[in-house]
Amino acid sequence: MSSEILKNRLQTEFLIKPNTIADDNSRIFFVGSCFSENIFNYLKYCGLDCINNPFGTLFNPHSIAFCIEKIATEYRFTTHDFTYHNGEFHSMHHHGSYKHRDAEVLASRINSQIETAHDFLINADIAIITPGTAKVWQMNQPEMIVGNCHKIPGHEFTSRILTETEILKAYKDCIYYLRLINPEIKIIFTISPVKHLRDGMLENTISKSRLISALATLREEHPEILYFPSYEIQTEELRDHRFYAEDLAHPTAWATEYIFRRFCETCFTSEGQQFIEDARNWLRMKNHRIMSVDQTEISTWTTKCDEALKQFKSKHPSKTYWPADWV
């Protein structure tokens, strides 16, 4: 389905230059904000080979670059890397869910995910980096920028907005360490359309502006780096409060779906787009709940689904990766 069908004509339209670098066999690595997770979930659901946020959701460019660096260098976390608070050990460079009463268990979990991410990136085709804010929280003791405050009292942190120079360095570090693992990987940046309004509208605008301005400078030096305008689609094509959730910060499910379709139209080959459409159609059939308890009807429906999968697979003979639970 074309995104034109989904959208009201009252919004501003703008053209996005196609960069058809993805197809149904692309291996895609996502890192960054919760919007990155949304697009990852769409593609994973549709049967693409991808992983997301080995350190959990990260919002600022510094923490995203730190994550990629540790994956590239195959860093091994130890108990000395953690902060003890309220009876648990916390990894301050990870999402708030990275905590445990046993530091060895936490280190093992983190190191396993670093290993998995490194192995995936060696043969990945695309990395998609989605910063959401230029604001960072810096822990006072020890002094370091954190990926998440882990509900530790606010007086133990100082917040500020990264300078454009600091953001540009973080972007360059992302590129350097990704290419250290995989010199051929294609890189796409996109700014999360989620608004960070806790500190005010002006601060959110300054933050987003610095992220975008630094990216413009980066792409002057590295024209091969691609940019997908998630933020601009939300704020220009969908510039209306009805496209935001009740918090007026997050895009609605409809808006996220719309941006996802724009992403597919821009970045996927026509064959890749057709695969995604066919996958979603088949999954709607597969996930349909049979209300009948009649075993004959259930068996008939199961056979019908199996036959539809065979037809689906025969339609895409070049597809090499199929999710295990589809087979």
Question: For the ranges 2-11, 35-44, 192-201, 243-252, which has the lowest average pLDDT?
Answer: 2-11
> Range of 127's domain?
18-270
Q: In what order do the strands lie in the sheet with 144-146?
A: 144-146, 135-139, 157-161
Q: How confident is the model at residue 28 (pLDDT cuts 50, 70, 90)?
A: very high
pLDDT score of 30 more than 90: yes
Q: Measured between alpha carbons, how far is 259 from 88 in angstroms, rounded to an integer?
A: 39
Assess if residue 242 is contained within a domain: yes
The candidate with the shortest Cα–Cα distance to 283, out of 112, 43, 14, is 43
Whole-structure pTM value: 0.92
Which residue reads 């690595």 in tokens?
A: 29
pLDDT tens, position by position, 65-101: 999 999 999 999 999 999 999 999 999 999 999 999 9
Assess if residue 298 is contained within a domain: no
Assess if residue 185 is contained within a domain: yes
Assess if residue 12 is contained within a domain: no
Assess if residue 197 is contained within a domain: yes
Please give the pLDDT value at position 200: 86
Across-strand partners of 32? Answer: 130
pLDDT tens, position by position, 161-175: 999 999 999 999 999
Assess if residue 301 is contained within a domain: no
CA distances from 266 to 17, 131, 180, 233 (A): 7, 20, 27, 13
Please give the pLDDT value at position 10: 57
HSE-CB at 39 with a 13 A cutoff on CA atoms is 27
CA distances from 203 to 164, 209, 309 (A): 14, 10, 50
Assess if residue 263 is contained within a domain: yes
Provide the token pair at 227: 């940019």
Domain count across the chain: 1
Q: Measured between alpha carbons, how far is 260 from 267 in angstroms, rounded to an integer?
A: 10
Which CATH number fits the domain that encloses residue 251? 3.40.50.1110
Assess if residue 52 is contained within a domain: yes
Q: What is the mean pLDDT of residues 215-222?
A: 97
